[in-house]
Amino acid sequence: MFVIFLFDAINSCRWQAVWLASCYRAAARLAGNGNSNYGSTDLRMKSIPNVSISFQVHTDRNVADAVVKQSVVEVPVPTADEMPPGQVLIAISHSSINYKDALAAVAHPGVARKLPLVPGIDAAGVVVESKSAAWPEGAHVMISQEAFGTTYDGGWRQLAWVPADWLLPLPNGVSPAQACGLGTAGITAAWAIQALIDHQCFDREYPLLVTGASGGVGSFTIDILAALGQRVTAVTSKIEQQSRLLNLGASNVLLRSDFEDTTTRSLLSTRWAGGVDTVGSIGLNTLIRSTADGGCVAACGMASGTDLILSVYPFILRGVILYGIDCTRYSQPEKTVMWERLTSQWLPQRALAEIEVIGLDDVPDRVFSLIENRHSGRCVVELPALNY
């Protein structure tokens, strides 16, 4: 469906939608009605389209309080002759919506570093044309690179030329939809759990804690930790999520209001062997101050804020380790190894079963659900299928 969404940053995030029927007919002809061709024997396209249906974000940053325009448009696709050596053309079947994507979708200047921009930091699909010996046509791949979806157009589009060294092989036994369902959230959870293992936080006197537990990273973390035999306490601001979190494997659920400590005490009573924080600010502060001697806190989010006001006491009196998770800093071989682990012995099956699959026209609603903290779990974006 071809739609232009207008986001008014001043008037309480109100949406206006303009439906363009004639453009929809053109989009429908290009998209077709089939599903992803994952698993077929011949994945080479009979003819590569010269345009790609894309979800594009644009605004004028030179104008105060300018409207942010979101539109599903046809974007020209360069031919192979126009691309330098080492580039690979991917027919993207699936992407996903992360909190970072939601910020990009409203043109947040710290995330959307170019405009217009196609968001989507996760993407999976198949190679349909290649100028790199490393990736033949028909190879199933994921795109993994920090610039993708921020300074370079991302995965909310059907076709994307990307450098060969941005690609990872799709893990065995995992579909493109599952790969994007895991996506940045899943691999972030995996690196955070590895940090807890490396710092010997497993099987200790105290349980582990996960903040922002109802989100993608939190849900995957709880599922994996519980499957690894660890006691996990989940923290959430959503009381209606308690049953879901217990079903994912949490042994206990705390409401955020009951967990967070807003006092200025340098240390709190010891409660946790370590934990994974996805929210930042007071939640991270409270976790650090209440972590046991030698415990590790893996920090990977800022949904509640970027501030962190602490004394040095948790670090010099308890030896607490604050370990930052940035899943983009690892090499492609390291990423491949962790992806294989995540999709085999660490596969979070309960959380994966909850994944919601939507189309491009549903993206704006999910974007604001994330920004306004109304969404739980993971959301996969299925791109309109191309005719192979």
Name residue, tokens 């602490």: 310
Report the CATH number that the domain containing residue 225 is assigned in CATH: 3.40.50.720
**pLDDT, tens digit, 9 for 90 and up, residues 57-78:** 999 999 988 999 999 999 999 9
pLDDT band for 45, please (50, 70, 90 cuts): low
Q: Which domain holds residue 104?
A: 3-171+354-382
Cα separation, 313 vs 288, whole angstroms: 10
Cα separation, 162 vs 154, whole angstroms: 10
**pLDDT, tens digit, 9 for 90 and up, residues 314-327:** 999 999 999 999 98
Regarding whether 366 and 238 lie in a shared domain, the answer is no
- Give the pLDDT of residue 263: 96
End position of a domain, from candidates 303, 324, 345: 324
- Element of type H or E holding 80: none
Contacts of 80 (CB under 8 A, 6+ apart): 89, 129, 131
Cα separation, 178 vs 357, whole angstroms: 10
Helix ranges, the chain (H) = 21-31, 99-105, 176-198, 216-227, 242-248, 256-259, 281-289, 313-316, 332-342, 349-352, 363-371
Regarding whether 212 and 138 lie in a shared domain, the answer is no
Cα separation, 251 vs 274, whole angstroms: 15
H helices, E strands: number in the chain = 11, 17
pLDDT band for 11, please (50, 70, 90 cuts): very low
Is 97 a residue whose pLDDT tops 70? yes
Name the pTM for this structure: 0.84
For the chain, the average pLDDT equals 88
Report the CATH number that the domain containing residue 89 is assigned in CATH: 3.90.180.10
Is 36 a residue whose pLDDT tops 90? no
Taking Cα atoms as reference points, which of 133, 119, 126 lies closest to residue 165?
133
Regarding whether 194 and 147 lie in a shared domain, the answer is no
- Give the pLDDT of residue 47: 84
Tokens of 378: 């993971």
Average of per-residue pLDDT across 171-197:
96
Average of per-residue pLDDT across 209-229:
97
233 found inside a domain: yes
Regarding whether 110 and 210 lie in a shared domain, the answer is no
Average of per-residue pLDDT across 181-203:
97
Coil, strand or helix at 326: coil
pLDDT band for 33, please (50, 70, 90 cuts): very low
Percent of the chain at pLDDT exceeding 70: 88
Is 261 a residue whose pLDDT tops 70? yes
- Between residues 97 and 7, the one the model is more confident about: 97
Name residue, tokens 């579909």: 175
- Between residues 344 and 47, the one the model is more confident about: 344
Is 13 a residue whose pLDDT tops 60? no
- Give the pLDDT of residue 387: 72
| Phi, psi angles (nearest 5°) of residue 47 | -155, 125
Under 8 Å between Cβ of 124 and 142: yes
**pLDDT, tens digit, 9 for 90 and up, residues 114-173:** 999 999 999 999 999 999 999 999 999 999 999 999 999 999 999 999 999 999 999 999
Regarding whether 213 and 127 lie in a shared domain, the answer is no
- Give the pLDDT of residue 373: 79
Taking Cα atoms as reference points, which of 326, 333, 387, 378 lies closest to residue 356?
378
